[in-house]
């Protein structure tokens, strides 16, 4: 029986991945190399500093810790410029109706994201009050595929992991959910997310009752 839902943010609730890509690419360009959309796929579910390390590796650059902290802040400042212009148009199809349905079934709702801007993002699109618990990059010490973010979400909701279902668009996020002993629903490409219990193209038209019947371990 599902008692709680835990959602990733980027690519599941809102489409802000494009803004991360634009900010990271601008950073890479400022350092003298390019950063492609294919490269950006490696950053799904990865923390800011780990993302920076991957980008520097792509560019063949080795920098000191102080400089890396400066670059991480610069990237975030560019990202926040995009975020400041966000509206509820960024909410992905079916999300609001599904959150309504989840709440109507008295199923708890949490967010589990690597983003350090998760609460700000939810506030900008008018969804912050829908989440009883928000676990983001400011509250975790380990990144996905470590299950920490989801286990903290379950603990915050007071629900055992076995009764939680996670919605994720990244393979590392699915790995984290499975490691936590939770149901995992992949949002997107079945080729990449096929190890989840279930893969959906979007939340459009999805309802809790039907979903629970489809989740078989």
Alpha-carbon span 56 to 41, nearest angstrom: 15
Structure tokens at 111: 């967010």
Q: Could you give the CA distance from residue 112 to residue 142 in angstroms, rounded to a whole number?
A: 12
In sequence order, which residues have a C-beta less than 8 Å from that of residue 142 and are 6 or more positions away?
A: 148
Strand 108-112 relative to strand 164-168, pairing? unpaired
Instruction: Return the residue matching tokens 């610069």.
Output: 74
**Residues recognised as catalytic:** 8, 10
Secondary element (H or E) of residue 116: none
Angle at 142 between CA 188 and CA 135, to 5 degrees: 65
Return the DSSP state at 161: G
Q: Is residue 117 within 8 Å of 83, Cβ to Cβ?
A: yes
CA distance 177 to 210: 21
- Asked if 57 and 35 touch (Cβ cutoff 8 Å), the reply is no
């Amino acid at each position: 029986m599902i008692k709680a839902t835990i959602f990733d943010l980027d690519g599941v609730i809102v489409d802000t991945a494009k803004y991360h890509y634009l900010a990271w690419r601008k950073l890479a360009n400022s350092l003298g190399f390019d950063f492609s959309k294919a490269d950006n796929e490696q950053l799904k579910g990865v923390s800011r500093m780990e993302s920076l390390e991957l980008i520097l590796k792509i560019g063949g650059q080795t920098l000191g810790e102080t400089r890396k902290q400066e670059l991480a802040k610069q990237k975030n400042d560019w990202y926040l410029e995009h975020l400041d212009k966000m509206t509820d148009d960024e909410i992905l199809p079916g999300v609001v109706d599904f959150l309504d349905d989840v709440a109507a079934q008295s199923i708890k709702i949490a967010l589990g994201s690597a983003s350090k801007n998760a609460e700000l993002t939810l506030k900008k699109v008018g969804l912050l009050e829908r989440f009883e618990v928000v676990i983001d990059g400011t509250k975790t010490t380990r990144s996905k595929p470590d299950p920490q973010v989801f286990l903290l979400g379950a603990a915050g909701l007071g629900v055992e992991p076995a009764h939680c279902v996670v919605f994720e668009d990244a393979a590392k996020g699915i790995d984290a959910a499975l490691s936590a002993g939770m149901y995992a629903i992949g949002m997107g490409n079945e080729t990449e997310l096929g190890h989840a219990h279930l893969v959906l193209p979007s939340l459009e038209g999805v309802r809790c009752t039907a979903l629970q019947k489809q989740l078989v371990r």
